[in-house]
A and B are shown apart, each in its own frame.
Chain A
Amino acid sequence: MKIIKAVKRYRYPYLFILPFFLLFLIFQLIPLIWTVGISFTEWNGIGSPKSVGLGNYQLLMKDYMFWDAVKNTVYYWVTGVVFILLLALLVSSLLNNKGLKASRFFKTASFLPNVCAAIAMGIIFGMLFDENAGLINQILVTFGGTRVPWLTSVTMSKIPVVILNVWRNTPWFTMIVLSGLLNISPEYYEAATVDGATAVQKFFKITLPSLSNILFFCFITLTVDSWKIFNEPYILSGPGTSNVSLFQYMYQSGFSIFKMGYAAAIGCILTLILLIISIVQFAIRVRQGEM
Chain B
Amino acid sequence: MKKKIVSMVLALMMMMGAFVGCGSNSSAGTASTASATNGKTVYPKGKVVIYAYGQPQYLQQYYDAWLERNKDIASGVTIEIVQTKGADDSRQKVTTTYLSGSYDDLPDAMYIDPVNLMDLAKGDIVKDETALVTPLVDKMVSGAANDAKFQGKIYGLPDSVRPQMLFYNKQIFDKYGVDPSQMSTVEGYIEAGKQLKEKSNGKVYLSYIDPGSKTWRYWGRRGLMPQANAKIWDDEGNVVIGSDSGTKLALGALDTMYSQGLLLKSTIMEPALYDATRKGEVATFDIGAFWDEFLRKNVPETSGQWRVMSAPVFKDVGTAGAPVSSYFAIVNKKDGVYAGLCEKLWKDFNFDSTSRQEWVNKMVEQNAPYSNPISLDMLKNKFWKESSTFYGGESFRAKESEFLQNGSKNLVVTPQDAEADEIISAELEKYVAGSQSMKEAIANMDKNLKAKIGKAKIEK
Binding site for B on A (CB under 8 A): 12, 15-16, 18-19, 22-23, 44-47, 59, 62-65, 130-133, 149, 151-155, 237-242, 252, 255-259
Contact = CB atoms under 8 A, between A and B. Distances in A.
Interface of B: 4, 7-8, 10-11, 14-15, 17-18, 88, 91-92, 95-96, 98-99, 119-120, 122-123, 125, 211-212, 265-267, 270-272, 275-276, 415, 418-419, 422-423, 425-427, 429-430, 432-435, 448, 451-452
Nearest to A65: B426
A152 B448 contact: no
Given A19-B14, A255-B92, A152 B433 contact: yes
A18 B125 CA distance: 38
Contact of B419 (A62, A255, A257): A257
A16 B125 CA distance: 42
B18 A44 contact: no
Nearest to B91: A258
B275 A63 contact: no
A141 B211 CA distance: 21
B4 A130 contact: no
16 contacts: A15-B7, A19-B11, A22-B18, A44-B415, A63-B452, A149-B433, A152-B211, A153-B435, A237-B212, A238-B433, A240-B426, A240-B429, A240-B433, A241-B426, A256-B88, A258-B119
B429 A239 contact: yes
B451 A239 contact: no
A283 to B, nearest CB: 36
B116 to A, nearest CB: 9
A62 B451 contact: yes
A241 B14 CA distance: 44
A46 B7 contact: no
A242 B340 CA distance: 48
Contacts of A238: 433
Contact of B122 (A47, A153, A255): A47
Given A130-B272, A239-B211, A18 B11 contact: yes
A12 to B, nearest CB: 5
A86 to B, nearest CB: 31
A46 B15 contact: no
B450 to A, nearest CB: 11
A261 to B, nearest CB: 13
Contact of A256 (B267, B422, B429): B422
Given A19-B18, A45-B95, A255-B92, A154 B433 contact: yes
Contacts of B265: 131-132, 152
Contact of B418 (A63, A239, A256): A256
Given A45-B95, A239-B429, A239-B432, A22 B15 contact: yes
B298 to A, nearest CB: 14
A252 B353 CA distance: 42
A16 B432 contact: no
Contacts of B435: 153-155, 239
B88 A255 contact: yes
Given A18-B15, A19-B15, A45 B96 contact: yes
B452 A59 contact: yes
Contacts of B14: 16, 19
Contacts of A239: 211-212, 426, 429-430, 432-433, 435
Contacts of B415: 44
A130 B273 CA distance: 11
A158 to B, nearest CB: 13
Contact of B448 (A16, A64, A132, A155): A64
B18 A23 contact: yes
Nearest to A157: B433
Given A59-B452, A133-B271, A15 B211 contact: no
A36 to B, nearest CB: 18
Contacts of B122: 46-47
Which residue, A15, A16, A63, has most C-beta atoms of chain B within 10 A?
Answer: A15
Contacts of A15: 7-8, 11
B224 to A, nearest CB: 20
B419 A153 contact: no
Nearest to A244: B426
A238 B435 CA distance: 12
Nearest to B448: A64
Which residue, B11, B96, B275, has most C-beta atoms of chain A within 10 A?
Answer: B11
Given A18-B15, A47-B123, A240 B434 contact: no
Given A44-B119, A63-B452, A130-B270, 16 more contacts: A12-B4, A16-B14, A46-B95, A46-B119, A46-B120, A65-B423, A130-B267, A152-B265, A153-B433, A239-B426, A240-B427, A240-B430, A242-B430, A257-B422, A258-B418, A259-B419
A133 B274 CA distance: 11
A133 B272 CA distance: 6
B432 A46 contact: no
A239 B14 CA distance: 47
Contacts of A155: 435
Nearest to A253: B419
Which residue, A64, A149, A240, has most C-beta atoms of chain B within 10 A?
Answer: A240
A132 B265 CA distance: 9
A239 to B, nearest CB: 4
Contacts of B99: 45
A20 to B, nearest CB: 9
A117 B432 CA distance: 31
A242 B433 contact: yes
Contacts of A22: 15, 18
